[in-house]
Amino acid sequence: MPSTHPASGAARDHFQVLIIGGGTAGITVAARLRRAGLCDIAVLEPADVHWYQPLWTLVGGGRAPLGVTHRPEASVMPRRVHWIREAATAVDPEARTVTTAHRTIGYDHLVMAPGLQLDWDAIPGLGAAVGHGAVSSNYAFEYAPYTWELIRGLRSGTAVFTQPSGPVKCGGAPQKIAYLAADHWRRQGVLDRIRVVLVLPADSMFGVPVWRRALERVAERYGIEVRLNSEMTSVDGAARRLTVADHSIGAEDGLAFDLLHAVPPQRAPGWVERGPLADPASPYGYVEVDKHTLQHPRHRNVFALGDVANLPTSKTGAAVRKQAPVLVANLLAEINGEHREQRRYDGYTSCPLVTARGKVLLAEFDYDQRPAPSIPLLDTTKERRDMWLLKRYGLPALYWRGMLKGLV
């Protein structure tokens, strides 16, 4: 049966603001709207557990327990926000309604924040292979601990780390686990017996030159074989073989492995991709949105942020932290009929690039790929211990106690 947050009272079928998604983006926006005094808000979210996904890399690298990455969804839902524990299946922006398996809900204003979906079956064999044998992925909580099990157990052979083409959550994560694994093997004295291969779809290791050069040095330090303009196109988990396509020369070759960390292709949820809010320019079905105002260009009462928004920046929690106040300000102006200059999001995102146990490069940049440092006087283009402490302890605390409360 449909249910709502305990503070919401009886189930209703219309809200002033309906937020689809109770993840990072949805909860942050709901909390900020409540702090701004808005009362008629609903969050559509079926999950009972809320995950802090940025730590899954450290879980896979043996540097954090899985238990610290989640809390009950009820504990992060803002007070006096209606929690509808159902999943959206369709949206009709002309009728201003969202459909679930149980009912149709009306709205005055809509915030799209349902996240994205992991498309394991887009790579033949990956869905069947992941989670057992020699194949894992930190992109799902159930597999992240298995990544560490595989890394810890490998003493020789070939370890392959892949990233698919297209936008993925935290574009640096596919590399981070390779560095954590190589650092562990070096400390165990077995790195020289392990061939480490990093398969990346872009023509460089990172889009911003200063961090690209730093990562090139990290890969060289570990002796990692970096294959650019390349991606895994199929995998046979039982045979422990995969196929890599090199797009720069238009060729494919097979590669045997003893450990594979694979990142699945990612796209918008199917109902979003097939729906009227999707950006026709996005091959992955993400929501069309003005990259500065976060407002849908064809439906002024619709906004989007986070992973589902088709924005030319990395899909990270740090990006959401900067997007949320812009979206909320512009949404409130729309609700109040204020004709003023809209707040603008500059594309800021951040990626703490873990390069070893206890070492992090903090990459912060904007739409123009320009460095956008937020911590004065610190050179975050170098590997730093304090940035590791920020990644492991500071950012999770900021997330649970500040961001999800609408405070930062």
170 classed as catalytic: yes
Residue 402 pLDDT exceeds 70? yes
Question: Which entry of 170, 173, 255, 326 is annotated as an active-site residue?
Answer: 170
Query: With 60 as the cut, is the pLDDT of residue 235 above it?
Result: yes
The pLDDT tens digits for 95-150 are 999 999 999 999 999 999 999 999 999 999 999 999 999 999 999 999 999 999 99
Q: How confident is the model at residue 86 (pLDDT cuts 50, 70, 90)?
A: very high
Residue 131's Cβ-side half-sphere holds a number of Cα atoms within 13 Å equal to 9
The active-site residue, picked from 33, 98, 226, 351, is 351
This prediction has a pTM of 0.95
pLDDT digits (tens, 9 = 90+) for 338-365: 888 899 999 999 999 999 999 999 999 9
pLDDT, average across residues 186-201: 98
pLDDT exceeds cutoff 80 at 4 = no
24-52 in b/e form (b: 16+ CB < 10 A) is: bbbbbbbbbbbeeebebbbbbbeeeebbb
Q: Judge whether residue 255 has pLDDT over 50.
A: yes
The residues facing 246 across adjacent strands are 230, 251
Mean residue pLDDT across the chain: 95
Domain ranges for the chain, please list them: 6-116+269-345+399-405, 120-266
**In the sheet where 135-136 sits, what is the strand order?**
135-136, 259-261, 157-162, 194-199, 225-227
Mean pLDDT across the stretch 248-273? 97
State pLDDT tens for residues 12-67.
Answer: 899 999 999 999 999 999 999 999 999 999 999 999 999 999 999 999 999 999 99
- Percent of the chain past pLDDT 90, that is, above it, reads 95
pLDDT of residue 12: 86
Amino acid sitting at position 398? L
Q: Domain 6-116+269-345+399-405 belongs to what architecture?
A: 3-Layer(bba) Sandwich (3.50)
277-329 pLDDT, tens digit each: 999 999 999 999 999 999 999 999 999 999 999 999 999 999 999 999 999 99
Share of the chain above pLDDT 70, in %: 97
Sign of CA pseudo-dihedral 180, 184, 187, 192: negative
Superfamily of domain covering 120-266: FAD/NAD(P)-binding domain (3.50.50.60)
Q: Does the fold of domain 120-266 match that of domain 6-116+269-345+399-405?
A: yes
Active site residue 39: no
- For 176-180, 331-335, 371-375, which range has the lowest pLDDT when averaged over its residues? 371-375
What pLDDT was estimated at residue 212? 96
pLDDT band at 158 (very low <50, low <70, confident <90, very high): very high
Query: 2 pLDDT band (50/70/90 cuts)?
Result: very low
pLDDT of 246 higher than 60: yes
Strand 241-246's sheet: what is its strand order?
A: 230-236, 241-246, 251-256
371-397 average pLDDT score: 94
- C-alpha of 367 from chain center: 17
Residue 6 has pLDDT above 50, yes or no: no
Question: Quick one: pLDDT at residue 5?
Answer: 52
